[in-house]
Structure 1
Amino acid sequence: MRRAMSSAESALPPPSPLAVPVLMGVVFLSLIGFGVVIPLLPFYAVVFSATAWQVTLMFAVFAAGQFFGELIWGRLSDRIGRKPVILGTILMAALGYVALAYAPNIWFAVAARAVAGVFSGNISTIQGYIVDVTPPEKLAGRLGLIGSAFGIGFVVGPLLGGLLARPELGAAGFQPPLLTAAALCLAGAAGAAVFVRESRGRAAAGAQRPGPLQALAQTLRDPTLRRLMGGTFLSFAGFSAMWSIFGLWGAAEYGWDPKMIGFVMALTGVAAATSQGVLAGWAVQKIGERPTVLIGLTVTAVFLFLEALGPPVTVAIILMIVLVIGHTTSQPATSSLISRAAPAGRQGETLGANNASSAAARVLGPVMAGFLFSGVGTWAPFVLAGVLILPAAVLIGLGGRR
């Protein structure tokens, strides 16, 4: 449901035609920050003498930071506008990369990732901007384009981490890819400052809005949103469990080095970008949002179970590409369902609550995966991921309608 435009917002200048492409670039940079670390994880373990659970903790605390960031920034952008929130969070994320580049030990690295996570929790603000400036009939396609930026970032981030890392230099070998990511963030902030025009006016002075946790509780009281967010939570708990051990799994099972890990992740990133930029919008037009989610997440779960069987390396790479396509195809349809179910004037807050749900899942998933990887076997996190994603397909894809 498209929200009514206030008189303050109707007085705003029309959005720049370059605003959406620039914001896609900002999302791309956010995913570089996520992906650049994955090829480095096995070598954080070596350089800092860290265990598997400590390495996956870097994923978990980043997601914990995003949980609070999504609750704060989406709601704040509803009140003060999208642009200042987008600019401030990008600049602080750049500082997070610099701090991680100079981490002297694993616990400093964990702390740096936690702080960086808070300022990377700005995706709901960007989604809120897209909702503000997009007609309802084009919303799923636009959100799919934003999702394709995730995929492209997933190509460049791991490649950047794998190609620029110098593990033979110890901790200093992590600095080139991380400092490059910080520089790219600064470029993204400059682009947003020039090309992104504010899409909504400030809320009236003294307007009473619930606090972040109250807003989350208020959102969860809606049965439709509760079901959609529950599906989001399970889906991302499973998917993040798999990604958090991906570098460790590749090194342990197939002897992959950072360059090979980055290469395989680049392949999955190309698949993700294609599925979200092309396949997701096409699927929604042809079969609808809920069937798209049901099919996509079911395919993901089945291929995760097949990956757990320990196939030959070529088959393992193909399975990884297909399961990523399934998951990423479902995401724009889910976001579209949530944005249309959101109360008028609270799209940023509601999308923030949903992204906070996925961030909370990315805390739980990596923690469980780290313990399973160390204590049960390299295959166990894949089974966990499939078991979590199957009910997500049912909750979102077969759930009742308003």
Structure 2
Amino acid sequence: MNVSHQKLILLTVCLVALMSTAGVAMPYPILAPIFVDSAPDAFNHFMGLPPKLLLGVALAANPLGILLGSTLIGALSDRLGRRRVLTGTLLLTFAGYLLTAYALWSRWYLLFVLARFVTGLTEGNVAVARAIVADLHPQLDRARSFAILNAVLYTGWLVGPLIGGLTLPLGEAVPFLLAAGAILLCLAVLLAFLPETGERMHQDQSLLQVMRGQHSFRLLSADPLLARLFWMQLAFAIGVNAFYEFYPLWLVEYARLDSRGIALVTALMCVLMTSASVLLGKLGHKRAPLELARINAVWVALGLLGLSLLADLPWPGIGLIVLLGVPLAIYNAILPSWCSERFANLGQGSVMGLLTTIFCVANVLVALLGSVLTILDTRLVLVLGALTCGLAAGWLQGVIREAAEA
């Protein structure tokens, strides 16, 4: 579909993605201090369980919700329209943040976990944002548009942790109240400036039929190459989530940082991620996309392995955490763009929804398994991440060969 004011639409999507992602990223630097570095109470020692185990369950609740929601959100945006689905998901996310803030204020652990799950159900809307960017091609270059969107997403990962870490001392509920306010701003921007972009698909089907037949997992039977890519991307996402979810705990245990210190480290990493993504969008790259993704997967694997060995050297470890932002940014800019082009016939919303689904499956697996491993040693989670990223790099070589033959 050709639309007018493409650059304004891209800017609007980026602003919505920025504020939405900031809300998703905000809890990362504050949950570890809340559970592991706070005075014991009925919240962080619920039923006498280890705080690290409670932290793992809390970390898993949100991506579990995103997992269930993202399997349908992308496909529903193909059927109902991007604007309508994005509006509905933002409204529900707003309600979820308010419920989370109340759970922290009342020190109600089970309600907190439920609120994080409910919020996650609609936070998979980044798939819709990516689908809108894909809709703008060929009026706007797809690779550069994805690079710009990724840069904005990384900026959200910078802004969110900074807000969370700096406002946590004001009260544990305060960051989530601020996130709810950011979502309201998202809604205002969306309603004012975002038109419908994509051609609606599956109009001959009822909404229930779309939900049954057009969820993200059905794509795995539609294209053998995509099915192989699924397992590769799942392995890489397990490694990435091992890093994202547990480097704050590494910083608490080995570098003795509080929420503000974790927020600063996260901000520095996100500055590098944003810069790398912007430069990639402006300068482009000479290597084949999947080969460039494979190289950066190897660098992530080596970085995680190195971090697991630096427990006694916290400052080099902090530097390595920051530097890992570069290969992560390059990989995450390249792969969605390639998938968007290669599997466009399957529906941009569905394809982007599948990528979000993969990330969330890995997020849940790592949160649950990682919480058990951290009881033994936090570094074991990083070793697991290094192994799965290395495995993904090997599998990606096979995907490259199969894509070339196809």
TM-score, structure 2 normalization: 0.89
Identical residues among aligned pairs (%): 24
Within 5 Å, which residues of 2 pair with 1:86-125? 86-103=86-103, 104-125=107-128
- Does the aligned pair in 2 maintain the 1:60–1:366 contact within 8 Å? yes
**Which residue number corresponds to residue 44 of structure 2?**
49
- Does the aligned pair in 1 maintain the 2:76–2:211 contact within 8 Å? no
Change (3 A) 1:23 1:295: same
**Which residue number corresponds to residue 163 of structure 1?**
166
Within 5 Å, which residues of 2 pair with 1:59-208? 59-103=59-103, 104-135=107-138, 138-166=141-169, 173-203=171-201, 205-207=203-205
SS of equivalent residue, structure 1 residue 303: helix
How far has the Cα of 1:277 moved from its partner? 2.1
- Does the aligned pair in 2 maintain the 1:76–1:85 contact within 8 Å? yes
**Alignment partners' CA distance in 2, 1:217 and 1:71:** 7
Within 5 Å, which residues of 2 pair with 1:189-338? 189-203=187-201, 205-207=203-205, 210-212=210-212, 215-221=215-221, 222-279=223-280, 282=283, 285-309=285-309, 310-338=311-339
**Alignment partners' CA distance in 2, 1:298 and 1:165:** 35
Cα deviation 1:196-253 (Å, max 9, x = unaligned): 1111344464336654576444311212111222222111111112222222221111
- Does the aligned pair in 2 maintain the 1:65–1:115 contact within 8 Å? yes
How far has the Cα of 1:38 moved from its partner? 1.6
Cα deviation 1:27-74 (Å, max 9, x = unaligned): 222321232112211333135224212212222121111112211111
**Alignment partners' CA distance in 2, 1:113 and 1:381:** 23
- Between stretches 365-374 and 44-53, larger displacement belongs to 44-53
Change (3 A) 1:311 1:143: farther
How far has the Cα of 1:121 moved from its partner? 0.6
**Alignment partners' CA distance in 2, 1:142 and 1:255:** 39
- Does the aligned pair in 2 maintain the 1:75–1:212 contact within 8 Å? no
Q: Which amino acid aligns with 1:123?
A: V
Q: Which ranges of structure 2 fall in alignment gaps of 5 or more residues?
A: 46-50
**Which residue number corresponds to residue 373 of structure 1?**
374
Q: Which amino acid aligns with 1:240?
A: N
**Which residue number corresponds to residue 48 of structure 2?**
none
How far has the Cα of 1:111 moved from its partner? 0.8
Cα deviation 1:341-399 (Å, max 9, x = unaligned): 2252612112212221111111111211111111x212111101111111222333552
Change (3 A) 1:183 1:372: same
- Does the aligned pair in 2 maintain the 1:373–1:380 contact within 8 Å? yes
- Does the aligned pair in 2 maintain the 1:308–1:380 contact within 8 Å? yes
**Alignment partners' CA distance in 2, 1:183 and 1:54:** 27
- Does the aligned pair in 2 maintain the 1:305–1:386 contact within 8 Å? yes
**Alignment partners' CA distance in 2, 1:130 and 1:66:** 20
How far has the Cα of 1:157 moved from its partner? 0.9
**Alignment partners' CA distance in 1, 2:267 and 2:111:** 28
Change (3 A) 1:17 1:337: closer
**Number of aligned residues:** 385
Q: Which amino acid aligns with 1:78?
A: D
**Alignment partners' CA distance in 1, 2:392 and 2:305:** 16
- Does the aligned pair in 2 maintain the 1:38–1:246 contact within 8 Å? no
**Alignment partners' CA distance in 2, 1:87 and 1:165:** 29
- Does the aligned pair in 2 maintain the 1:228–1:334 contact within 8 Å? no
**Which residue number corresponds to residue 4 of structure 1?**
none
Q: Which amino acid aligns with 2:119?
A: A
Q: Which amino acid aligns with 1:107?
A: L
Structure 2 residue 19 is matched with structure 1 residue 29: yes
Q: Which ranges of structure 1 fall in alignment gaps of 5 or more residues?
A: 1-8, 168-172
- Does the aligned pair in 1 maintain the 2:58–2:113 contact within 8 Å? yes
Cα deviation 1:316-346 (Å, max 9, x = unaligned): 1221122221122101211122112225261
- Does the aligned pair in 2 maintain the 1:98–1:179 contact within 8 Å? yes
Cα deviation 1:144-184 (Å, max 9, x = unaligned): 111111211111111101111127xxxxx112221111111
**Which residue number corresponds to residue 354 of structure 1?**
355
TM-score, structure 1 normalization: 0.90
Change (3 A) 1:343 1:157: closer
Change (3 A) 1:233 1:156: same
- Does the aligned pair in 2 maintain the 1:80–1:201 contact within 8 Å? no
**Alignment partners' CA distance in 2, 1:212 and 1:328:** 34
